[in-house]
Structure 1
Amino acid sequence: MTELSWDQVSARRLQRHGLHTPAAGAAPDAVRVADVVSTMCGAHAQVASAAELSVGLRVPGATRALVRRALWTDRTLVKTRGPRGTVHLLAAADLPMWVGALTALPAPSWERSVVLLTPQQTEQVLAAIADAVAEADLTTAELTEEIVARTGPWAGDLVMEAFQDRWPRWVAAMTDATRRGVICFGPNRGRVTTYTSPTRWLPDFAPMPGRAALAALVRSYLYAYGPATPAQFARWLAVPPAWGKWLFDSLDLTEVTVEGTTAWVAADDSDFPDDRPSGLRLLPYFDAYAVGCHPRERLFPGAAATRALAGGQAGNYPVLLVDGVVAGVWHQRRSGRSIRVTVEPLRPLDAARQRALAQEVDRVGEILEGRASLTVGTVSVGPHA
């Protein structure tokens, strides 16, 4: 069995995420952006600016404008719900795999406990959604009108609990609609969300068969985040650990040990560098590296576990990454083109790392198309919900 050090694992993950040494090469374009997002297994997009920064950090020379162009003009990216049911930017070419895999996952317990639509009504709503968004970007209100017109008044009944309000009955099918690839996000109309069809990105879109899609997803995950255990993969997808173990057992994977702990990689992907992890990065909210890499105690050592995790959950704080581990938190505040970046290191930074931090702050400004300034001090902002 291959025996690995944590340094080897960390160095490989940094390289594959484009967070080690910025790669030289051709000018950035929408295809390269999509390749990076594919390798990451998606960029969390609950906070749009964080997704743009997360991708831009991995593509030398990229700006948020390029990420937006890839999403809305070149359509090499698609905005939809990915792992854990959260909003992600995914590579459009990967959408058949994602839809095939997500529809093959076990349904969360909360979905099984809330029944607002019969199976027949769900299929009616899904057909109505597909027809309505085939060539249109529709707001929720507009989509409600179109669905009710195609199904009946029952679809618009305000019966679904929504914070301090109620949503129409058809919204209970939204999770299925996203998971099956019937719907994805369209460009915002001002501050209002719109929805549209993934076939506008992939005209011949068809989901990959479930088992093949799951195998491809595991391979992609292990390429970016391996070695990993079934439990870590299950946590990343928000599925039962026992199901994750069953899936790993059904695939051709290679067992390795990382400083005495057993984990897995894809069968033909067991090469690791001998380099030590190096470099300094400012990762935004919900960055894929911080969320997807395990074990947490290695990535968030010592004081980082207390300062940079929220109840054990990664992603709620932007983090300072030094040599592959979390070494602080940071925050940005924007006013026009001015971006004030405050960084709170958890240990002193030597002169070389102070210079690297200043360069990274400049890069944050370039990506977000603003003028960034640095303050080293306490971050007073709490975790993102």
Structure 2
Amino acid sequence: MDLDTLLAQRLATQHLASTPVGVLDVVRHAVAVQSQDAPLARWSIGLRSGRNDDAVRAAIDAGDLLRTHVLRPTWHYVLPEDLRWLLELSRDRIERSMGARHRQLGITEHVVERSFAVLADALAGGRTLTRKQLHPLLPTTAFPAQGQVVAHLLMLAEVRALVCSGPLEKGEHTYGLVDDRVPPSPVRPREELVRDLAARFFAGHGPSTPADLARWAAVTRTEVRKVLPDLDLSCATVEGTEVWWDPRAVPEQRRDDDPRAFLLSTFDEACLTYLPPSYPRLAGHPWGDRPPTYAQVGGGPVICDLREVGVWRRRTGRTTTRVELDLSPAVTGDQHAAIRTAAERLAAFEGRGLELAG
């Protein structure tokens, strides 16, 4: 397998260059969709489903799609049926990673117990509240910035399956009780959970590597390698790296009106997931050889003809979506046209007019 075949197959597997699927099917196929940048995470789902922002928001409001901290941990969209086992798989490793920070913040187990009691009472009966509404109700510590304490208490409540997202309130994230929104599920052995995760990861993100999965979730390469023989996967070598995928899960690539260009979020599963090999940068790329800045939100890489040709940033007005482009000078005229079409898709997804700069 050569690099371009690998990249084209990933785009098809992730339904970026294959027939769109439903909003919930996008997330089910991916297992979890990183949603640190919530508006652009919805755009990532829209790219794969062909639905607009209102349709993705409706799935969140209905509780069919949940946003919570899981896996690494960071924000992810997941289906209710997958939340408990993903937390069971990743909870211990996540909590160990937060221990030192919680000591700095003064978050003791006593503080945690008090905060969980407050949350259970405040959110009882199906009630949902925003972080701003919950902040004054939660216990305090001696740490000077209590906003950080609240953020970590809520994250810990998510990791321990007490709370998850509720309906959006004027576009703002809310919290509700997991038991009100998520069906129960049996406790299963860790190796079985790793096997299920690996099977779904390579089906939804392949061709990829055990190292990609270990980076993506709270599992080790050793755990992944142990379950690989149990999975019916194909394997090839690309630029000296073994990659794996489920051949049954690769949809047919579109031929007609196949998009050449994509405005991907910095956190999109099609770029954030993978260690090399990945999209080569076009000569004259504005970032040169510097790695992407994952702390940056509101934009990400511009992919055109299987190459990273520049970066983009989104700014919204009342009636327009402004897309600011910073592209390689090697981008051709027809590539510029394809990138403009990609920007028009984003503006249409958000229900606004397009303002293009750069």
Partner of 2:316: 334
Contact 1:340 1:372 in 2 (8 A): yes
For residue 65 of structure 1, the aligned residue among 54, 59, 74 is 54
Quote the offset at 1:143 in angstroms.
3.7
Q: How far, CA to CA, are the matches of 2:72 and 2:171 in structure 1? A: 25
Whole-angstrom CA distance in 1 between matches of 2:253 and 2:131: 52
Check conservation: 1:14, 1:324, Cα contact below 8 A.
no
Q: Is contact 1:92-1:201 (8 Å) kept?
A: yes
One-letter amino acid of the structure 1 residue matched with residue 224 of structure 2? F
Shift of 1:329: 1.1
SS of residue paired to 2:162: coil
User: Could you give the per-residue CA deviations for residues 89-140 of structure 1, whole angstroms, max 9, x where no partner exists?
Assistant: 2223322332222225364444256444555664564455344324211244
2:161 to 168, 178, 181: 181
Alignment partner of 1:97 is 2:78: no
Q: Distance in 2 between matches of 1:33 and 1:69?
A: 10
Q: 1:315 to 1:13 in 2, by over 3 A?
A: farther
2:223 pairs with 1:247 = yes
Gaps of 5+ in 1: 148-155, 378-385
Q: CA deviation at 1:274?
A: 9.7
CA spacing shift, 1:171–1:220, aligned 2, 3 Å: same
Distance 1:230 1:244 in 2: 9
Matches of 1:104 and 1:185, distance apart in 2: 21
Alignment check: 8 A CA contact 1:46 1:86 kept: yes
Q: Residue 220 and residue 107 in structure 1: after superposition, are their counterparts in 2 closer, same or farther (change >3 A)?
A: same
Between the aligned partners of 2:315 and 2:253, the Cα distance in structure 1 is 39
- The alpha carbon displacement at 1:184 in A equals 1.2
Provide closer, same or farther for how the CA distance between residues 83 and 49 of structure 1 changes in structure 2, counting only shifts above 3 A: same
- Number of equivalent positions: 347
Q: Is the partner of 2:29 in helix, strand or coil? A: helix
Residue 30 of structure 2 corresponds to residue 40 of structure 1: yes
CA shift for structure 1 position 235 = 2.3
- Say which SS state the counterpart of residue 235 (structure 1) adopts: helix
* Alpha-carbon displacement from aligned partner over 1:180-214 (angstroms, at most 9, x marks no partner): 22111334545865321233333x33365352333
SS in structure 2 of the partner of residue 196 of structure 1: strand
Give the letter for the 1:356 counterpart.
A
Output the CA distance in 1 between the equivalents of 2:28 and 2:216. 16
Matched, 1:283 2:264: yes
In 2: Cα distance, 1:188 partner to 1:270 partner:
33
Which of 213, 219, 227 is the equivalent residue of 2:193? 213
SS in structure 2 at match of 1:39: helix
For residues 229-264 of structure 1, what are the alpha-carbon distances to aligned partners after superposition, in whole Å with 9 as ceiling and x for unaligned? 333323223x5xxx6122113213457342353435
Looking at structure 2, the residues matched to 308 and 179 of structure 1 have their Cα atoms a distance apart, in angstroms, of: 38
Shift of 1:271: 7.0
Please report how far the alpha carbon of residue 178 of structure 1 lies from its aligned counterpart in structure 2 after TM superposition: 0.9
Quick one: distance in 2 between partners of 1:173 and 1:329? 35
Q: Pairwise CA RMSD of aligned residues?
A: 3.6
Q: Which amino acid is the alignment partner of residue 140 of structure 2?
A: D
TM-score normalised according to structure 1 size: 0.75
TM-aligned CA deviation for residue 76 of structure 1: 1.5
Q: Secondary structure at the match of 1:265?
A: strand
- For 1:1-385, what aligned pairs fall within 5 Å after superposition? 4-23=1-20, 32-60=22-50, 62-72=51-61, 74-105=62-93, 107-112=95-100, 114-115=102-103, 116-117=106-107, 119=109, 122-123=112-113, 125-126=115-116, 128-134=118-124, 135-140=126-131, 142-143=133-134, 156-160=139-143, 165-167=145-147, 173-190=153-170, 193-202=173-182, 204-206=183-185, 209=188, 211=190, 212-237=192-217, 244-253=220-229, 254=233, 256-265=235-244, 279-295=260-276, 298-301=278-281, 307=287, 311-314=291-294, 316=296, 317-375=299-357, 377=358
Question: Partner amino acid for 1:340?
Answer: R
The answer (yes or no) to whether the contact 2:7–2:278 under 8 Å persists in 1 is no
Is the 2:107–2:141 Cα contact (8 Å) retained in structure 1? no
- Is the 1:305–1:312 contact (alpha carbons within 8 Å) kept by the matching residues of 2? no
Query: Which stretches in structure 2 are left out of the alignment for 5+ residues?
Result: none
Q: 1:84 to 1:264 in 2, by over 3 A?
A: same
Q: Percent identity?
A: 21
**Structure 1 residues 298, 189: closer, same or farther in 2, change over 3 A?**
closer
Deviation of the 1:71 alpha carbon: 0.5
Query: After the TM superposition, which of the residue ranges 180-189 and 259-268 deviates more from structure 2?
Result: 259-268
Is contact 2:301–2:311 with CA below 8 Å preserved after alignment?
A: yes
Quote the offset at 1:299 in angstroms: 1.8
Paired residue type of 1:282: L
Return the letter of the residue paired with 2:227. Answer: L
TM-score, normalization by structure 2: 0.80
Note closer, same or farther for the CA distance 1:326–1:315 as it changes in structure 2 (3 Å cut): farther
* 1: CA distance, partners of 2:327 / 2:321: 19
Contact residue 198 and residue 205 of structure 1 kept, 8 A: no
Q: Distance in 1 between matches of 2:284 and 2:15?
A: 23
